[in-house]
């Protein structure tokens, strides 16, 4: 039925995967960290203690990612993503009823299970099967959806969260209802694991057109695991995620406590950062259809680095954190663009470098490494802020780690297939 329609069914799949990732990633990582100031007030905890919520998710998700990759390669992405989306729906439904910070800790650990089964990896695998010629744009669209969630969801629930008669519980509860409608239903009713399951070809090519098999799909798993490409991509992505997630987890607190912004102004700046992250994910993804994806990852990493430098005031004899509204606005733009581009390009570089044959396991390994980076970044930066009483040192660490990421990206080289068959 769908094969006869004018619109390639892969676009419905891409939109549905975007919706799923829009909700899953933003409700797991970005909405909670935007609520950190409110959670600190209600549960009487500091930056390090409240940051442990998201850090728990990132830490456990990193170790579960390889297992998720193995399950996808063995049982299929369809089964894995369906189980994962139900797990997330149940957790989100209970989240507003959390009575203590310890309850939130446990919920965020459980989120890790659902995240690796219904988050970035499964959705990238699905759309990568449906598209080849437009893979950069489509993957960019999917990963951009999480930034769109980070930009819109805090603003959507802000009037509820900041209403003393309602608060963050009602705000998150609203998102939980929307999740059942716009994430769970598409997974079960729209998303198909690959075009072949519907008698189609990637990009909507005719059935009688011989399918071009990418050379990278024939790279043996052992060669991929022992390659310099995987080592450099893993370290580079870990450093990038250390900086991205670590800074994002603390930026709302910084805006309110050190930069002197109101809660509403902080939400607005946080939203601007994610709007430009959205632009960066889609824009750099589209650019990667024209340029080597490793080159585009390098460009986005450089943009991220210069964005981090905008947090500092270098005009005096000593380095200090800026409180200049214009400069902080430029920070949200530049860091957001670099964040978005790096986010999407890590996945695309993996597909370009290693192919589809063992993509579940490869992405699982990369997610393990960069998840640890993200978790450690969240934990370390929050603890440094508590110990030093300022975000000067934590944000300095962000800039240094981002620069190290750039060095690793420079050493990523494409692999050559040594055999025409899988090991």
**pLDDT tens digits, one per residue of 99-130:** 999 999 999 999 999 999 998 889 988 998 89
pLDDT band at 183 (very low <50, low <70, confident <90, very high): very high
- Residue ranges per domain, the chain? 2-196+213-410
Q: Cα–Cα distances in Å, from 150 out to 49, 63, 410?
A: 22, 24, 30
Residue-wise pLDDT for 409-420, tens only, equals 998 877 665 544
The arithmetic mean of pLDDT across residues 385-395, rounded, is: 89
272 closest CA partner among 333, 335, 344: 333
Residue 403 neighbours by CB distance under 10 Å: 17
Residue-wise pLDDT for 39-90, tens only, equals 999 999 988 899 889 889 988 988 888 888 888 888 899 999 999 999 999 9
pLDDT band at 2 (very low <50, low <70, confident <90, very high): very low
What is the C-alpha to C-alpha distance for residues 103 and 52, in angstroms, rounded to an integer? 12
The arithmetic mean of pLDDT across residues 276-297, rounded, is: 87
Residue 359 neighbours by CB distance under 10 Å: 25
Strand runs labelled E in 257-392: 312-313, 320-321
Q: What is the domain class of 2-196+213-410 according to CATH?
A: mainly alpha
Residue 177, Cβ density class (10 Å: 0-12 exposed, 13-18 middle, ≥19 buried): exposed
pLDDT band at 405 (very low <50, low <70, confident <90, very high): very high
Start-end of H helices in 4-134: 9-25, 31-34, 36-43, 47-75, 77-94, 101-118, 120-130
Residue-wise pLDDT for 293-310, tens only, equals 899 999 999 999 999 999
Q: Residue 3: its pLDDT value, please?
A: 45
The arithmetic mean of pLDDT across residues 370-375, rounded, is: 85
First to last CA, the chain: 37
């Amino acid at each position: 039925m769908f094969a006869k329609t004018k619109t390639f069914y892969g676009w419905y799949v891409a939109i549905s995967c975007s919706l799923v990732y829009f909700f899953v990633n933003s409700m797991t990582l970005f909405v909670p960290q935007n609520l950190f100031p409110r959670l600190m007030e209600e549960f009487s905890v500091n930056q390090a203690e409240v940051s442990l919520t998201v850090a728990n998710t990132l830490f456990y998700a990193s170790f579960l990612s390889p297992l998720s990759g193995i399950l996808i390669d063995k049982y299929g992405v369809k089964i894995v993503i369906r189980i994962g989306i139900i797990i997330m729906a149940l957790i989100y439904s209970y989240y507003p009823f959390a009575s203590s910070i310890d309850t939130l800790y446990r919920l965020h650990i459980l989120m890790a299970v659902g995240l690796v089964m219904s988050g970035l990896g499964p959705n990238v695998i699905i759309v990568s099967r449906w598209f080849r010629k437009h893979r950069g744009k489509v993957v960019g669209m999917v990963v951009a959806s999480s930034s769109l969630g980070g930009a819109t969801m805090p603003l959507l629930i802000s009037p509820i969260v900041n209403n003393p008669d309602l608060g963050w519980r009602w705000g998150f509860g609203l998102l939980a209802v929307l999740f059942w409608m716009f994430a769970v239903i598409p997974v079960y009713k729209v998303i198909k694991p690959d075009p072949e399951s519907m008698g189609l070809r990637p990009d909507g090519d005719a059935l009688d057109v011989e399918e071009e098999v990418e050379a990278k799909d024939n790279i043996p798993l052992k060669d991929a695991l022992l390659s310099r490409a995987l080592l450099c991509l893993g370290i580079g992505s870990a450093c990038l995620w250390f900086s991205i997630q670590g800074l994002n987890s603390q930026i709302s607190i910084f805006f309110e406590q050190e930069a002197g912004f109101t809660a509403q102004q902080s939400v607005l700046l946080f939203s601007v950062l994610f709007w430009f992250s959205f632009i960066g994910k889609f824009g750099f993804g589209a650019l990667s259809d024209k340029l080597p994806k490793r080159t585009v990852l390098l460009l986005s990493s450089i943009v991220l680095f210069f964005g981090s430098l905008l947090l500092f005031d270098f005009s005096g004899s000593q380095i200090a954190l800026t409180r200049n509204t214009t400069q902080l606005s430029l920070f949200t733009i530049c860091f957001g663009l670099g964040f978005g581009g790096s986010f999407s390009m890590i996945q695309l570089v993996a597909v370009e470098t290693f192919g589809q044959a063992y993509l579940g396991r490869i992405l699982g390994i990369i997610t393990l490494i960069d998840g640890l980076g993200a978790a450690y970044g969240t934990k370390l930066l929050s603890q440094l802020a508590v110990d030093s009483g300022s975000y000067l040192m934590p944000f300095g660490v962000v800039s240094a780690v981002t620069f190290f990421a750039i060095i690793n990206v420079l050493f990523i080289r494409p692999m050559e297939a040594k055999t025409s068959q899988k090991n």
